A and B are shown apart, each in its own frame.
Chain A
Amino acid sequence: MTNLVYLVPLFPLIGFLINGIGWRKMPKSAGGVIGSLAILASFVVSLGIFFEVKASGTTTVVNLFEFISSGKLVIPFAFQVDALSSLFLLIITGIGFLIHVYSTSYMHHDEGMVKYFAYLNLFVFSMLLLVLGANYLIMFIGWEGVGLCSYLLIGFWFKNRDYTNAAKKAFVMNRIGDLGFLVGMLLILFNYGTLSYQEFFGQLSTGQVAATSSMYNWIAICLFIGAMGKSAQIPLYTWLPDAMAGPTPVSALIHAATMVTAGIYMIARSAALYDLAPVAQNLVAVIGLATALLAATIALYQNDIKKVLAYSTVSQLGFMFLALGVGAYTTGIFHVMTHAFFKALLFLGAGSVIHAMSGEQDIKYMGGLRKKLPITYITFLIGVLAISGFPFTSGFVSKDEILLAVYHHNKAYFWVAAVTAVITAIYMFRLLMLTFMGSFRGTEEQKHHLHESPWQMTMPLIILAILSLVGGFVQLPHLFGGHDFLNEFLAKANVPALVVEDPGMEMREYTLFGGTCLGLIIIFIATRKLFAVDSFKGEYGGFKKVLANKWYIDELYDAIIVRPLNALSSAFDRFVERMGIDGIVNGVGKLVRWGSDRVRLLQTGQVGFYIFVMVIGMTLLFAISFFGFSN
């Protein structure tokens, strides 16, 4: 099965080609069926690969063809199948399939539905390349590929200028990160002569190449800059909330469950490097922590249902980086997995709400939806419980693991992370209540139109809700009779877990458990009052306004980057180019012209004359050449 790994990205590629070529002529439903089946086929193959890897525990590199070869630089187009990549294959194709099915209904009214599925398949293809690559260059191909698909899907409704602006912003910010990735790759290539994971990490472990610690740090930091862009971390996070302009299933798949976790995948993949780079590791932890807190505070006062979820994603990604930064690589991956379940669930739930509200996304006009959308409500509630860390849900287990790992690393980090976790619960309950509790605040027409979504949409919600509930059991704390299945599995791919010898572990587990229960109850009761759910106006003053306006970071970037760049460019164009360089040249030109007035008379003459002269001239030259022969 492992040798058939090329089939996994091949199916989505075929789906993309069929939908992409036939997008104008194919019936809409055919596009959806082809798109979904392609991912289903990939999922089946991925399952086979996963169980094979689970049984054998081996790492296999499958060489497809020689991609770039230039002297000593040889980069094959190769896939690496191991525990880490096979786990990501399952997440991508599994959740991908559910979201494709959901989309067949969600996008049914859109005239560009076939095109939509073409893009979605192309995205899955790129994402699979990203995680399957056996070297950084193949990862980079997928890396920029998913960026492109994200761009195309954010700007899917291309007539709206705001949407295409958001798409552009996403692509450009990602490109800034990509430059870091590129420099990191070149540093590796320059020092180690290879981009292949196995060769590079092999050299790191044997210490064949005498590199200094600062070199490790530089490489790790450059790669992390790439991750900042793709996984929306400070300072490159502002594109992700704007990316909500795309269709909601896209937000679920690309901007929550899969693409944005690519940065975490990259660092977990490079664990051998980061273990040697303490400065970079600490930077990862600090940036992750700061992003988690900043985004959580912003999420408190957003009124767009998708924006709340977007900032929550940024914040959760911060948690994952925090885990990686303290050396708990498997925990970071674990949170990627559980987050994929519950965040996909929440986004699809939001999609179901938006669908019922005829496109309305502002929670100002929602409220009381639980009666009309019971399945959406129950599953959304499960998602909220999971992300808030309700005991035994998937989010509880993974977030607990992060907090414990951080606790052992640095107490200050722990407290900030704990506060962030509390804020997370608060803004999620706020969202839940403003959407589903209280009474409806929209128009009569909207109220009349409210309906539960069809099975193509509710079925994925139910499956994801179950996964959000039980998904954590693969790594349940020993205290509750669990076992570290995931850690053991990932260890086969050399992704290290954080091992802590702590006699007080049991105590801390109990404290966390109890604290979480208590906290959630308080939050549940307090939120309703705190946010005046029953008389919600959606307007804020004072400091709340600063949060609602996202700390004015977008305005800041505009003032210190966008405007200066435009001003500089205009100055180059107007002054340096036209007056400076061109001015000198034109001056010289005038001088020459002054001396060649007679020639200028010829220039206004007929073209035929020139050509005549030219042909004569050439004939003469050839005559000379024949003359040359005779000598």
Chain B
Amino acid sequence: MILTLLILIPLVAGILSFLAKENGKMIALLSSVATLGVAIATSVHAGTQTISWSIPWIPRLGAQLSFYADGMSAMLCLLTAIVMPVIFITNWNKTVDRAGSFYGLMLLSQAGITGVFLAHDALLFYFFWELALIPVYFLCSSWGGEKRVAVTFKFFVYTFLGSLMMLAALIFLSSQNPGVNAYSWENIVSAGASLDPVTQQWVFVLIFVAFAIKMPIFPFHTWQPDTYEQSPTPITIILSALMVKMGLYGVIRWLIPVAPEGVALWSNTIVVLSIIGIVYASCIAIVQTDLKRLVAYSSIAHMGLMAAAAFSQTKVGMHGLMVQMFNHGINITGMWLIVSMVEQRWGTRDMTKLGGMASTAPKMAIALVIISLANIALPLTNGFIGEFMLFNGLFSSASQYHIIFMVVAGIGIILGAVYTLNMIQKTAYGDAVEMTVSKDITTNEFVGLTIIIGIILILGVYPKPLLDMTLGVVNMMIP
């Protein structure tokens, strides 16, 4: 029951927000804080044992309203529940057109994302997948930047194609064992695993593409920098901190158990693609001048490492992936918050026109530096724990090229330092550039950034709670 609350609160609040118009942001903030409370309770509970809840939904199709939370689901719900109020708090002073619809759509998306992490029924999973995406589609196309229509269309084409392929695969799988719970996770998994290897590979490809686009894995990524650039920052945060995790979560929860033969056949190829993606995206990040594009490519590089670990199938890598999913979400949220503050203060995201933040807005500069350091996985920030374990996983994978994989992926940490320090130098150092809105961080922004930086440091020094919470899932995934 507690799991349905996680979805129902944002769902109801979202609908209310449409009606409340200008008061939407108040509803958004209050509901998201309430959700956070529930998510914390769930996490405390799910750290020790799994929670599940299920009632019939569409018996004729074999679909159930079935929710399930183990450490991984609870952790990702917690991440969602932390990120949303942080967005709302830091955005508090900004005026948004049609605030009711704006916040309503965001809350609906939150409900969808949470649902994806909790659904234990394939059709339900698909339903939430779309519920999460559709509001974002509207948010981008109506509140986005100049090129929003073209970019949103590209985003739509990409994700829609992926979704369709996934749906086809899921329908096919459910038809293998028809019944009142044909779409249940157990049923889908056993249907998939009992297929002959060739069919499994096709199923694998169909589902993989949907998740690969969402993560994104090179070369399925080109929708992402454009979409991140054109979306309003709150939406960029939802996309990059939360929705990319839907892709990874899908891989871990659905794809790997459903098509083990497909994984066996394709994993090396995917690991290679992911690692190419790390170096490729890092290189491109080096020559970006737009802050948003830089962070976008940096995120692609990070996702590459996570994807490589997901498909290299080692215990420590999988465990690292768990904590890194959480930490990446926190850190990239921090990055985007700073980017949007910069844009608001200086009226541009072009780094060649920025500089001197350390003298004009020192608090913001400190936050920028700390979050950037977490982004390049400096020890004693949360980013380090995950990255160390991911590299460890990649290194100890069964592939005969495991050392090469790790070393090439490791080039990413050098290139990461290059583009991140470039960014700090160009924005924070140098001579002061006049601000259009002359103000260091405001109180509400301070609260949001403090939450993010607090988590960065606490989990960087003491990652044990996060590790303990997800150990059970890892042990179940990889015996």
- The residue among A24, A67, A577 with the most chain B CB atoms within 10 A of its own CB is A577
Contact, CB under 8 Å: A159 / B429? yes
Cβ-based interface call for B346 (8 A): no
Q: Give the one of B58, B101, B462 with max A CB within 10 A.
A: B58
Is B219 located at the chain interface by the 8 A CB criterion? yes
Q: How many residues of A contact B (CB 8 A)?
A: 66
B134 at the interface (CB under 8 A from A): yes
Please tell me if B414 contacts chain A, counting CB pairs below 8 Å.
yes
Contact in complex: A631, B138 (CB < 8 Å): no
Measured CA separation A67–B459 after assembly (Å): 10
Q: Are B101 and A611 in contact (CB under 8 A)?
A: yes
* A189 & B392 in contact (Cβ 8 Å cutoff): yes
Per-position contact with A for B405-431: 1 when CB-CB < 8 Å, else 0?
011001101100110011001001111
B326 within 8 A of A: no
Would A573 and B284 be within 8 Å (CB), given that A70-B316, A585-B222, A624-B58 are in contact? Answer: yes
Report the minimum CB–CB distance from B444 to chain A (whole Å): 20
The answer to whether A594 has its CB under 8 Å from any CB of chain B is no
Question: Among A67, A576, A589, A607, which residue has the most Cβ atoms of chain B within 10 A?
Answer: A607
Inter-chain contacts of A582 with B (CB < 8 A):
222
Produce 1/0 per residue, A70-82, CB < 8 A to B: 1101000000000
Residues of the A chain whose Cβ atoms lie less than 8 Å from the Cβ of B58: 624-625, 628
Q: Give chain A residues whose Cβ lies under 8 Å from the Cβ of B94.
A: none
The reply to whether the CB of A443 lies closer than 8 angstroms to some CB of chain B is no
CA distance A171 to B373 in the complex (A): 12
Q: How far is the CB of B158 from chain A (nearest CB, A)?
A: 7
Chain B residues contacting A71 (CB-CB under 8 Å) are 315-316, 319, 471, 474-475
Asked whether, in the complex, the Cβ of B98 is within 8 Å of the Cβ of A607, the reply is yes
B430 and A610 contacting across the interface, CB-CB below 8 Å: no
- Per-residue B-contact encoding for A589-631, CB less than 8 Å = 1, 0 else: 1001100000000010001101100110010010011001101
A159 near B105 with CB under 8 A, answer: no
A164 interface residue per 8 A CB criterion: yes
Name the one of B138, B283, B395 contacting A569, with C-beta atoms under 8 angstroms.
B283
Residue-wise, chain B 376-418 has the 8 Å CB interface mask toward A (1 for contact) of: 0011100011001101100110000001001100110110011
Check if A557 is an interface residue, CB within 8 A of chain B. no
Stretch at the interface among A176-184, A197-205, A302-310, A391-399: A176-184
Give the shortest distance, in Å, between A221 (CB) and chain B (any CB): 13
User: What residues of A have a CB within 8 angstroms of the CB of B63 in the complex?
Assistant: 628
Question: Given A158-B358, A585-B223, are A172 and B414 also a contact pair (CB < 8 Å)?
Answer: yes
Known contacts A158-B429, A175-B414, A608-B101; is A183 also within 8 Å of B286 by CB?
Answer: no
Chain B: which residue is nearest A165 at the CB level? B425
A523: interface (CB < 8 Å): no
Given contacts A65-B462, A572-B280, A176 and B414 within 8 Å (CB-CB): yes
Given known pairs A68-B467, A140-B379, A182-B391, the reply for A581 and B287 (CB within 8 Å) is: no
| One of B219, B379, B428 near A581 (C-beta < 8 A) | B219
Which of A141-149, A293-301, A458-466 is the interface stretch?
Answer: A141-149
Q: Of B356, B392, B411, B474, which is in contact with the most chain A CB atoms at under 10 Å from its CB?
A: B392
Residues of A within 8 A of B142 (CB): 607
Identify the stretch in B70-78, B149-157, B445-453 within 8 Å (CB) of chain A at 4 or more residues: B149-157
Q: For A170, give the chain B residue with the smallest CB separation.
A: B421
Chain B residues near A565 (CB-CB < 8 A): 283, 286
Report whether A190 and B396 are in contact in the complex, using a CB–CB cutoff of 8 Å: yes
Contact string against A for B residues 137-177, beta-carbon threshold 8 Å, 1 for contact and 0 otherwise:
01001100000010001100110000000000000000000
The residue from A68, A161, A566 contacting B388, defined by CB atoms under 8 A apart: A68
B347: CB under 8 A from chain A?
A: no
Q: How far is the CB of B293 from chain A (nearest CB, A)?
A: 9
The listed residue (A144, A608, A628) touching B57 by CB distance below 8 A is A628
Top 5 A-B pairs, shortest CB-CB distance: A141-B379, A569-B283, A158-B429, A70-B319, A186-B395
Contacts beyond the supplied A67-B464, A186-B396, A628-B63: 5 A-B pairs with Cβ under 8 Å? A70-B389, A182-B410, A189-B396, A569-B284, A589-B157
Contacts A/B (CB < 8 Å), 17 sampled? A65-B464, A67-B463, A148-B373, A161-B425, A179-B414, A182-B391, A182-B413, A183-B407, A189-B395, A566-B287, A573-B283, A576-B280, A614-B134, A614-B135, A615-B18, A625-B57, A631-B60
